[in-house]
Amino acid sequence: MARAVTTQRKSINTLVAWVIALLIFFPILWTILTSFKTEAQAINDPPLFLFFDWTLENYAVVQERSDYMKFLWNSVIIAGGSTILGTIIAIPAAWSMAFVPSKRTKDILLWMLSTKMLPAVGVLYPIYLLFIQLGLLDTRVGLVIVLMLINLPIIVWMLYTYFKEIPGEILEAARMDGASLRDEILYVLTPMAIPGIASTILLNLILAWNEAFWTLNLTAANAAPLTAFIASYSSPEGLFFAKLSAASTMAIAPILILGWFSQKQLVRGLTFGAVK
C-alpha cells in the first residue's frame, strides 16, 4: 500500500516536474529548432514544430559570413583567462578573510561587492580613454583584466564562504607539522576546497562568457568574442529569425554543454555559505 502511494506520488512529481522543466527550457529548444528552418518556415503561420525540411543552411551561411572559431577562441581565452586570474588572486584573499578574520572583514567583503554596482555605461568613457592610453583597446589582455575585476568580488565571496566551512584545526595541525603558509594553502586548503573552487570557476565562466557590455564596447576585429558575433546577426534588414537562431545556438552551445556536464559540481558548490 505504502509502496503504491510512493509510486503514484513519484509519477505525479515526475509529470509536474517535466512539464515545468520543458516550459522553462522551451525558448531554448525553440531557438534550436528554428535554427534548422528556412527563413520563410521560421515565420510560418501556424508555427512549425518538428515537421519541416530540416536544413543546415543557416549554419553554413553563418560560418561563411563570420569566422566562428575566431570568436569562440576569443570567448574561451577571455572568459577562461579572467576566471583563472581572478581565482588565483582571490584564493589568498579569501583565506585571510576566513581564517584570520578581523573586525573589518565583513566591511571589506561588502565593499568589494559594492564595486559591482558601478553602472558600466556610466564609466564607459573613462575606461575607454584609459584603454586607449594603455594600448589595451581591442586586446584580449585588456578584456581579461576588466572581466577579472568585475567578477573578482563574487569569486572572493564564494571562496570565502567555502573556506569558512573548513575547520581551522586542520590548517593549524598542518602548521604544527611545519608547513609554510604557501604549503598550507596549496596542499591542505585548496584540495579540501576543490568542490567550492570548481563551482566558483564554473559560475564565473558563465558570467564572463555572457558579459555583453565591455566585450562589445572595448573590441573591434582582434579580440571580439561571441557577444560581438551575436551583435552582427540581431535585426539586420530582411528576415533573420532562422539565422539569428543559428548564431545564437552557436554562441550558447559551448557554455550550455559545459554547464550541463558540470552541473553536479555547480550545484554542489553554489551555496554561498547558505547551507549550515
Partner 1 sequence: MKYFIRTLLGATAVCALASTALAETITIATVNNGDMIRMQGLTDDFTAKTGHEVEWVTLEENVLRQRVTTDITTKGGAFDIMTIGMYETPIWGANGWLVPLDDLSAEYDVDDLLPAMRAGLSKDGTLYAAPFYGESSMIMYRKDLMEKAGLEMPDAPTWQFIREAAKAMTDRDNDINGICLRGKAGWGEGGAFITVTANSFGARWFDENWKAQFDQPEWADALNFYIDMMEESGPAGYATNGFNENLSLFQQGKCGMWIDATVAASFVTNPNDSTVADKVGFALAPNSEGVEKKSNWLWAWALGIPAGTQKEAAAKEFIEWATSKDYIELVAEKEGWANVPPGARTSLYENPNYKDIPFAKMTLDSILAADPNNPTVKPVPYVGIQFVAIPEFAGIATEVSQEFSAAYAGQQTVEEALAKAQALTTDAMEAAGY
Partner 2 sequence: MATQHSRSAARFMMAPAVILLLGWMLVPLTMTLFFSFKKYLPLRGDSLANGLDWVGFDNYVRFVTSSSFWPSIYATLIIVGGVLIITVILGILLAILLDQPMWGQGVVRIFVIAPFFVMPTVSGLVWKNMFMDPVNGILAHLWRFFGAAPVEWLSQASMQSIILIVSWQWLPFATLILLTAIQSLDSEQLEAAEMDGAPVLKRFWYITLPHLSRAITIVILIQTIFLLSIFAEIFVTTAGAFGTKTLTYLIFQRVLESQNVGLGSAGGVYAIILANIVAIFLMRIVGKNLDA
Summarize as ranges the residues that interact with partner 1 (CB under 8 A): 39-40, 43, 45, 64-66, 124-125, 128-129, 131-132, 137-138, 216-217, 220-222, 224, 228, 231-240
Evaluate the omega torsion of the peptide bond into residue 46 and state whether it is cis, within 30 degrees of 0. yes
Instruction: Report the alpha-carbon distance of residue 84 to residue 71 in Å, rounded.
Output: 20
- Count CA within 13 A, CB hemisphere, residue 123: 12
Contact 71, 226 (CB under 8 A): yes
Q: Is 76 helix (H, G, I), strand (E, B) or coil?
A: helix
User: Grid coordinates representing 49?
Assistant: 514544430
**Chosen from partner 1, partner 2, none, partner binding at 178 (C-beta under 5 to 8 Å by type):** none
User: Is residue 122 part of the contact set for partner 2 (CB under 8 A)?
Assistant: yes
Residue 140 CB, shortest distance to partner 2, in Å, is: 18
Residue 182 CB, shortest distance to partner 1, in Å, is: 42
**Closer Cβ to partner 1, 138 or 183, answer by number:** 138
Backbone torsions φ then ψ of 126, nearest 5 degrees: -55, -50
Residues 229-248 that bind partner 2 (CB under 8 A): 230-231, 234-235, 241, 244-245, 248
**Closer Cβ to partner 1, 137 or 166, answer by number:** 137
Instruction: Report the alpha-carbon distance of residue 41 to residue 47 in Å, rounded.
Output: 8
User: Grid coordinates representing 17?
Assistant: 516536474
**Chosen from partner 2, partner 1, none, partner binding at 39 (C-beta under 5 to 8 Å by type):** partner 1
Residues 161-200 that bind partner 2 (CB under 8 A): 168, 172, 181
Residues 54-73 that bind partner 2 (CB under 8 A): none
